[in-house]
Amino acid sequence: MKKLSILISFLFCGIVTVANTNRHPKSHTYPSAIIFTEQHIDFAIYPDGQFDFYIQNSKPNAQLVINTPHVNISFNSGYNYNPYIQYDDFGAVIQIENVPIFYDYYGRVSRIGNIFIDYNLGRLQRVGNMYLVYNPAGIFMGYRGYINPYNRTYVYKVQHKHFRKPPAQHRIVYTRPYRSYYQPKRKSYKSFKKYYKNNTDAYPRSYYKPSDAVTTYHRGRSNLNKTSSNREVYDYNDRTSRKRNTASSNRTNTTKFQNQPKYNRAATRSPRNHNAVKNNRQSSSKNARTQHRRTANGRSKSSNRI
């Protein structure tokens, strides 16, 4: 009986251990996303280039209600972070407080703050200084290195279980490079807070879809379309190019004129000048003949006197 009770107690301890392991994964093992912290913001990067985030100090009493069922704590799970983030024309988050977000041509996140992100064959390859390893079949096998000195290993937090991919209607990763010529405009967080506070009701909520044919932008600029917001930049470039072209054409014309032969220079003279030169030559020759005749007549007169 005593042995049986000991055996039952061991089995019970094993069940509790397994349950705790499933509830709290190992601190050095990443879940389905690569999670790191950048300026008190937790980010989760998924293999296809989408991400989710959680601002640690933005929600009051977050640690008290985080274990409540159906709580929305992350951006994609439904919590309203609009007072802290800036969007571009496609609804992509381009800045969270003072942390800028950058994307590649296909809408995959390529930089978060000072952490750069790369892809290879459509899969996440590098996050900071950490490289992901796949087998020939494309299955994730592990990683080497660490993201940065502040994110050397993954540290489990309760709020990480609320990270998820964005819903299909909010997806900005697309097979076509729709962001090739698009450059979003960012504001400083101080200016953004002031603008958001004064224009909360009028804050625009409509965005383009990656498949839309866009002609003008409101929150960014394009190298193909000269919008009113980009007129100053294009005017400056046009003035600069015109000055350079004028200077180069002047140099070219000067060089061509200097390299012209002498007969070409003479050919460029106007007919009026040519006639004037001809008349001058004729008058000078007439004057010379007249002077010669006078001299000859003077000599003949002097000989007759003698």
**Range 42-46 average pLDDT:** 96
What are 234-272's pLDDT values in tens digits?
333 444 444 455 555 555 555 554 555 544 444 444 455
pLDDT at 224: 62
- Across the chain, mean pLDDT equals 74
| pLDDT higher than 80, residue 5 | no
pLDDT band at residue 273 using 50, 70 and 90 as cut-offs: low
What are 118-169's pLDDT values in tens digits?
999 889 999 999 999 999 888 888 899 999 999 999 988 888 888 999 988 8
pLDDT at 100: 96
Of all residues in the chain, the percent with pLDDT exceeding 70 is 58
The mean-pLDDT minimum among 70-74, 180-184, 296-300 falls in 296-300
- Closest by CA position to 33, among listed 117, 137, 136: 117
pTM of the full structure: 0.63
